[in-house]
Structure 1
Amino acid sequence: MGQKLIYLIRHGETDYNRRGVVQGSGVDADLNDMGRAQALAFFQAYQHVAFDKIYISGLKRTYQTAELFIELGLPYEKLTGLNEISWGVMEGKVPGNLDNEYYRTLIETWASGNTSVATDGGESPDQVVIRQKEAFATILSHPEEETILIAMHGRAMRILLCWLTNHPLSDMDHFEHSNLCLYTLRYDYDTELFTVESSNDTAHLLSLAMA
């Protein structure tokens, strides 16, 4: 059946990112000026790619990140299975000492392999995997879409990259990310395996760093 080339990006910066506020799936923030500049820089670097389809999460920061491609008339689909993890009670808060301790303990719990533990009022990594697998079943059911762009979220990307590459979820923090970073993956329909070809690529943002 061939292969599928996947361009996987994290959304551009929001004011919540800049202020260190936890967003998760419960805060539907807009991109800020830097985020829109990042989206433009990515578009300028990759507008030559013949994307067959764009997939975004249900949160508007991913739509705004891919908007310039969508405005070209490229088909897109919103899949809520690609949403960021729900951070529950932490969402919308600037981490203070107590929240930092809570967050640190949670990350250490996941890193130790206990990924069934959910945030208070939110989701566990195991629960995120379930909805991501449903979303990817939809994506992979279209082999005719040979080159696709997926815009999603940081923690969700870390979880996704673990199970796509057959790593335990406890390794999720090994997959680094930053706003509007790019991972490229290739999926082989015959072997049903994903190969990561580039990781946390931000070369397209160099002009912003120099501005």
Structure 2
Amino acid sequence: MSVKKIYLIRHGQTDFNVRGIVQGSGVDSSLNEAGRRQAARFFAAYRHIPFDKVYTSVLRRTHESVHDFLALGLRHEQHAGLNEISWGTREGTRITAEEDEEYFGVLQQWRAGQTSARLEGGESPDDVAARQRPVIELLTSRPEEETVLVCMHGRAMRVILCQMLGYPLSQMDSFEHHNLCLYQLDYTGSMFTVRNFLDVRHLQETHV
């Protein structure tokens, strides 16, 4: 098969991002003004790419981030498997190191390889990886879709990059992310490789 090109982006900024409030899969927020500018800049930089399909989570912040591409009439699929991790009872709350030892304790457990750990009522990285696998199978089993755009969420993006690139989930923090950042991957039919790592050049003013 020919090389499949995957453009993987995180959604644009929301007010929750600015305020340090955990969204997860249970808070269906919209982009703020800055997030809409980020989406417009990404579109301006990549509208020339002949995407065969756009994949998003079911949450509106991903749909809004690729709105201009969908307005071109590109085919679109949304999958709950691409949703952000569920942070359980902590969703919708502001978390800092001083305020929530439990939250940061779970992050430490993940880094130590205890990726089945979760916050109360939430998901573990193992849970997220399991629901992502059918979506990865879709992406890799459709040779007619040579170039795809995937919009998802920060923590979930770290998990899916680990899965695609063969890293243990304990290493997911190696994959940094920013609002509307881009990872570009190639899939050869047997393996993924990264062509572009944490690219934010499109967010510069010169692209508008």
What's the TM-score, normalizing by structure 2?
0.96
What is the Cα deviation at residue 139 of structure 1? 2.0
- Structure 1 distance, partners of 2:62, 2:135, is 15
Question: Secondary structure at 1:94's aligned position in 2?
Answer: coil
Aligned to 1:204: 202
- Structure 1 distance, partners of 2:156, 2:64, is 18
Percent identity over the alignment is 52
Matches within 5 A, 1:5-154: 5-96=5-96, 99-154=99-154
What is the Cα deviation at residue 97 of structure 1? 5.3
What is the Cα deviation at residue 141 of structure 1? 2.1
Question: Secondary structure at 1:70's aligned position in 2?
Answer: helix
Q: Is the 8 A contact 1:90 1:99 kept in 2?
A: no
What is the Cα deviation at residue 98 of structure 1? 5.9
What is the Cα deviation at residue 100 of structure 1? 3.2
Question: Secondary structure at 1:8's aligned position in 2?
Answer: strand
Aligned to 2:156: 156
Q: Which moved more, 1:131-140 or 1:77-86?
A: 131-140
Aligned to 1:193: 191
Gaps of 5+ in 1: none
CA-to-aligned-CA distance 1:36-69 (integer Å, 9 cap, x gap): 0000000000000000000000101000000100
CA-to-aligned-CA distance 1:172-200 (integer Å, 9 cap, x gap): 001000000000000011xx100011111
What's the TM-score, normalizing by structure 1?
0.95
- Structure 1 distance, partners of 2:39, 2:166, is 30
Q: Is the 8 A contact 1:9 1:180 kept in 2?
A: yes
Question: Secondary structure at 1:42's aligned position in 2?
Answer: helix
